[in-house]
Structure formats: C-alpha cells, structure tokens
Amino acid sequence: MHQDRYVFVYGTLRRGEVNDINRLRPAPTFLGLARIRGTLYDLGPYPGVILGGVGWVQGEVYAISTELEQQLDLIEEVAPVPSGEYTRRHLEVDVGGRALSCLVYEIASARVRRCPRIASGDWLQRR
C-alpha cells in the first residue's frame, strides 16, 4: 500500500455506517480520529461538508491504496462520470500531531441550500 495516500471520511464511510470504509478491499489502515474546518449538512441518508469557516467537522483518517481511492470515487460519484454532487479536495489534516494531506469529498453548495446544518459537526451524533 502507498502510505502517501490518505482520506478523511466524515459520513457514511465512517466505521459502522452504511458504506463503512473498513468493508472495502484492499482494506484501509485506520490512522486516527481528526477534525477539519467546515460546516456539515444533513442530506437525509448521508451528509455533505462545505470546507472552511469557523466550525469543525469530526471524522476518521485512513491510509488507502490507489485501488481503494478509485472505489471511493465511484461511491461519491466523482468518477467515471461526475454527478456534480461532490468534488475531490485535498486538505492538510492534523492526525495525532502529524499533518497529512488528505482527500476529502466536498459537497456542492447548491446541494445543501435547504438542508439543515448538523451543529455538532459529527454525523454519528446527528440524531
């Protein structure tokens, strides 16, 4: 596995959720819990994040292979034909004192205009 590929997951890809990244193959390596600057929105069955601002969004960071990254692109519909819902972004994320450049899937702002914010910034605490 290439240890220079990392992903920050904040919604249905988190451990125990419907698209739990740990069920995908080749298996990712869990590196730790982390948080990023952003606003989390509830789109019903899944969330979306708008990056930046003063809020925090909770998530998990994993080391992933190129093959797994391609599967994530399919799940988030950024490839092979982008749906326009999510965009691939790269962001420096602090994971236990180590700054890692992580892939983050950001929702298109038009998709969350009428969606409620998740004030806690944590998809697992949304209920």
Half-sphere exposure of 116 (CA within 13 A, CB side): 9
78-93 b/e (C-beta count within 10 Å ≥ 16 → b): beeeeeebbeeeebeb
Q: Is 17 tagged catalytic?
A: no
User: Which residue is catalytic, options 17, 67, 69, 76?
Assistant: 76
List, as own/partner pairs, every contact residues 73-76 make where C-beta atoms lie below 8 angstroms and the sequence separation is at least 24, other chains included: 75/13, 75/19, 76/105
Residue 43's identity, in one-letter code, is L
Distance CA 117, CA 72 (A): 24
Active site residues: 76
